[in-house]
């Protein structure tokens, strides 16, 4: 199946598919009648949010390492920013439960905004930023729903 798809289409399918876990976990956290099940869904949602936010930073790290012709100051900027999202998301876990989800949503939006600012340095295609917008909105909405589910 994947052989017949363009790289752009594959990226969109995988990206949107990656929204299924947080959307499902947020729905479960909101709708579960069993408090333990809701708590487990919230735990999974928070960890998924942290991992995705870390992944987004790692993309910049990888671009910096792979770009041999990029000027050194730009490479260093991408390396520093590449670790920042994971540290920010990790810091969110020191917060109380509901606030943790709202802070993670904010971290996801911050990472998206920083990537837009760094766009001239990174040089990824416009389609990538459209996908990032959709995925960021989906993740942030799911994380906010997780915050709303906290009793």
The answer to whether residue 16 is domain-embedded is no
The answer as to whether 75 is a domain residue is yes
The predicted structure's pLDDT at residue 2: 58
Among the listed residues 140, 119, 142, the one whose alpha carbon sits nearest the alpha carbon of residue 129: 119
Confidence at 4, pLDDT banded by 50, 70, 90: confident
Residue keyed to tokens 């990537």: 115
Question: Please, what's the b/e burial string for 59-93 (b: 16 or more CB within 10 A of its CB; e: otherwise)?
Answer: bbbebbeeeeebeeebbebbeebbebbbebbeebe
- Structural domains in the chain (count): 1
pTM given for the model: 0.93
pLDDT at position 122 is 85
Give me the domain span that covers residue 121: 22-29+37-148
pLDDT of residue 1: 55
User: Residue 113 and residue 54: Cα distance in Å, rounded?
Assistant: 15
pLDDT of residue 147: 98
Decide if 151 contacts 30 (C-beta within 8 A).
no
Within-domain flag for 135: yes
Quick check: is 55 in a domain?
Answer: yes
In a domain, 144, yes or no: yes
Is 103 contained in some domain?
Answer: yes
Tell me the per-residue pLDDT of 45-92, one tens digit each, with 9 for 90 and over: 999 999 999 999 999 999 998 988 889 999 999 999 999 999 999 999
Tokens linked to 141: 């909405």
How many angstroms separate the CA atoms of 57 and 55, rounded?
5
């Amino acid at each position: 199946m994947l052989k017949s798809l363009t790289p752009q289409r594959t990226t969109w399918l995988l990206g949107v598919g990656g929204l299924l876990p947080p959307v499902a976990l947020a729905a479960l956290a909101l709708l579960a009648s069993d408090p333990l099940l809701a708590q487990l869904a919230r735990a999974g949602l928070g960890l998924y949010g942290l991992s995705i936010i870390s992944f987004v930073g790692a993309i910049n790290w990888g671009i910096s390492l792979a770009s041999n012709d990029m000027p050194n100051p730009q490479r260093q900027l991408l390396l520093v920013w590449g670790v920042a999202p994971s540290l920010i998301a990790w810091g969110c876990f020191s917060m109380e439960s509901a606030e943790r989800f709202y802070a993670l949503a904010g971290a996801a939006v911050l990472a998206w905004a920083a990537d837009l600012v760094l766009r001239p340095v990174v040089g990824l295609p416009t389609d990538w930023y459209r996908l990032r917008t959709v995925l960021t909105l989906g993740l942030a909405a799911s994380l906010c729903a997780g915050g709303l589910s906290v009793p």
